[in-house]
Amino acid sequence: MFKDLKNFFSKKETPKAIDISTNSDVLRVIYEIIAADHVIKDEEIAITAELLKKYFDYDENQTSVDLFKLKEENFFNTDLTNITYRIKNAYAYSERINIIKICWHVLLIDNTEDILEAASVRKISTLLGIEDKDFISIRNNIREI
């Protein structure tokens, strides 16, 4: 029994396992924006999957499936600090900027800047270590599109 426990705790994560974990973390962070206004539309999920394909080369179909699973589970982020901490350590600043771009695109899908969604993007941006000037620039650029 102790041998099994020792083997379990001594296993190293493979790069693929780490990649899957960070992909899941990114999905969960962006899902925070989708769910912030308590109205989760299929259009938001579809556009999020497209954006993750564009910015991070995620598989669009699998991303949609994963986001719909979060919707079905009524997923709620209880540990946003640790999730964003892992992302911050795994992604370069430019990639974290892209996460915030995706968040703003998702927020503005319905052409309404919901205060809960905007506050969530601000919080995520801060936790990801995005500078205020970059956050404001992203917000203004996405609004103009």
- The domain spanning residue 89 has which CATH number? 1.10.3680.10
Determine, yes or no, domain membership for 59.
yes
Characterize 103-137 residue by residue with b for buried, 16 or more Cβ atoms within 10 angstroms of its Cβ, and e for exposed: bbbbbbbeeeebeebbebbbebbebbebeeeebee
| pLDDT at position 143 | 87
Please check whether residue 110 is in contact with residue 76, taking contact to mean a CB–CB distance below 8 angstroms.
no
Q: What is the pLDDT of residues 41-78, one digit of tens each?
A: 999 999 999 999 999 999 999 999 999 999 998 888 77
Give the count of domains, the chain. 1
Question: Does any domain span residue 74?
Answer: yes
The Cα 90–Cα 54 span in angstroms is: 19
User: 4 in a domain, yes or no?
Assistant: no
In a domain, residue 7? The reply is no
In a domain, 136, yes or no: yes
Q: 101-141 pLDDT, tens per residue?
A: 999 999 998 888 888 899 999 999 999 999 999 999 999 99
pLDDT band at 22 (very low <50, low <70, confident <90, very high): confident
Residue 23 pLDDT: 86
Q: Is residue 113 part of a domain?
A: yes
Q: Which of 2-11, 34-43, 67-76 is predicted with the least confidence, judged by mean pLDDT?
A: 2-11
Q: Which domain holds residue 95?
A: 15-144
Residue 86 included in any domain:
yes
Q: Is residue 3 part of a domain?
A: no
